[in-house]
């Protein structure tokens, strides 16, 4: 392979630049940042991107480096532009610490408006014992080369709007979960795909927070169209992912009361379950 482009590195990539947080001098635990417009999908900044950014502020504020379990409540829609993260160290232990954070943007008068609230437990993934006992199996899906990118689809998706997010990621969907793009959803409520960052940045705990919320909503596979806003998203990061592309499998089993859950599993190329997530979202009305 000649002239393969140099891959971005953890700490020096689009994702890292766009999730940068700057400690505010004299205000411990407060971080200024700018939400990038590059992670916008349809009309909203992607929720996984926001979670990764807040997760990065918490990583700086807490004595431990990796989110083991992190929950976000999405309160008001975020927009590209300046923002501030206010963190609180709730409890600091030897092997684990608990923190809370809020992401704010500003109204026309410059007052802070809360966008999301996050509570998380941090630890050190590399310090966890190595034993694994699992009945979970990686999703069965075709090789990356047999999967479909957004460029393979017809013009225009089920929802119109910004597709900037898709330029930042390297997403190939299992054709079995792509029928919705041509008007033939499977009805099973599944979405599967290979996931990477477009610039080749390897994965870490923070990019896993992006991975769990990067695929099209399972509601599309149920034949629904329109926006599926996340109310709450919880991610368990179970292992540091090995270098290489991730496989993400998302399932919705129960749509009821206008709400649905989305359960995601993320697998690395060594067939290890590296993250599990569940979100509660509003079902589209379509």
Q: How far is the CB of 236 from a copy of itself (least distance, A)?
A: 5
Q: Helix, strand, or coil here: 15?
A: helix
Q: How far is the CB of 93 from a copy of itself (least distance, A)?
A: 9
For a copy of itself, the closer of residues 133 and 160 by Cβ is 133
Residue 23, CB-side half-sphere exposure with 13 Å CA sphere:
10
Are 127 and 65 spatial neighbours (Cβ–Cβ below 8 Å)?
no
CB of 151 to a copy of itself, least distance (A): 31
Nearer to a copy of itself, 13 or 69 (CB): 69
Which residues face 117 on adjacent strands?
A: 73, 102
Whose structure tokens read 């390297």? 170
Q: Which of 89, 116, 118 is CA-nearest to residue 101?
A: 118
Smallest distance from a copy of itself to CB 213, Å: 16
* Residue number with CB closer to a copy of itself (156 or 258): 258
- Residue 153 or 282: the one with the smaller Cβ distance to a copy of itself is 282
User: Could you give the maximum distance between any two Cα atoms of the chain, in Å?
Assistant: 56
- From the CB of 152, what's the least distance to a copy of itself, in Å? 27
In whole angstroms, how close is the CB of 244 to a copy of itself at the nearest point?
19
Q: Residue numbers of the site for a copy of itself (CB under 8 A)?
A: 68-69, 71, 73, 75-76, 90-91, 96, 98, 100, 114, 117, 119, 121, 125, 128-136, 188-189, 222, 231-232, 234, 236, 238-239, 253-259, 261, 272-273, 276, 278, 280
Compute the distance between CA of residue 180 and CA of residue 100 in angstroms, rounded to an integer: 38
Q: Between 19 and 71, whose beta carbon lies closer to a copy of itself?
A: 71
Please name the helix (run of DSSP H) or strand (run of DSSP E) that holds residue 281, with its range, or none: strand 273-282
In terms of CB distance, is 135 or 160 closer to a copy of itself? 135
Q: Are 197 and 168 in contact (CB under 8 A)?
A: yes
β-strand pairing of 40-41 with 246-251:
unpaired
Which residue lies nearer to a copy of itself by CB, 45 or 118? 118
Distance CA 30, CA 58 (A): 10
**Owner of token pair 């940068």:** 20
CB of 2 or CB of 133, closer to a copy of itself: 133
Shortest reach from residue 13's CB to a copy of itself, in Å: 26
Q: Calculate the alpha carbon distances from 132 to 136, 239, 240 in Å.
A: 11, 11, 14
Minimum CB separation from a copy of itself for residue 211, in Å? 17
Question: Which helix (DSSP H) or strand (DSSP E) does residue 68 occupy?
Answer: strand 66-74
């Amino acid at each position: 392979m000649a002239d393969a482009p140099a891959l971005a590195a953890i700490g020096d990539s689009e994702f890292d630049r766009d999730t940068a947080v700057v400690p505010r001098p004299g205000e411990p635990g407060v971080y200024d940042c700018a939400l990038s417009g590059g992670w916008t999908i349809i009309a909203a900044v992607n929720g996984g991107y926001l979670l990764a950014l807040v997760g990065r502020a918490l990583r700086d504020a807490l004595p431990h480096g990796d989110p083991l379990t992190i929950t976000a409540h999405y309160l008001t829609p975020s927009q590209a532009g300046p923002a501030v993260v206010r963190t609180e160290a709730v409890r600091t232990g030897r092997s684990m610490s608990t923190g809370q954070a809020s992401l704010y943007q500003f109204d026309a008068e410059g007052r802070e408006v809360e966008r999301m609230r996050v509570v998380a437990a941090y630890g050190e993934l590399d310090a966890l014992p190595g034993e694994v006992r699992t009945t979970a199996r990686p999703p069965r899906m075709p090789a990356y080369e047999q999967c479909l990118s957004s460029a393979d689809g017809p013009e225009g998706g089920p929802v119109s709007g910004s597709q900037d997010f898709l330029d930042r990621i390297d997403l190939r969907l299992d054709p079995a979960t792509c029928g919705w793009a041509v008007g033939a959803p499977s009805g099973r409520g599944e979405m599967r795909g290979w996931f990477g960052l477009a610039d080749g940045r390897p994965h870490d705990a923070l990019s896993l927070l992006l991975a769990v919320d990067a695929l099209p909503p399972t509601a599309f596979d149920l034949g629904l169209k329109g926006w599926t806003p996340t109310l709450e998203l919880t991610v368990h990061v179970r292992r540091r992912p090995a270098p290489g592309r991730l496989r993400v499998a998302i399932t919705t089993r129960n749509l009821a009361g206008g709400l649905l859950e989305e359960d995601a599993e993320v697998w690395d190329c060594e067939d290890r379950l590296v993250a599990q997530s569940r979100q509660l979202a509003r079902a589209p009305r379509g």
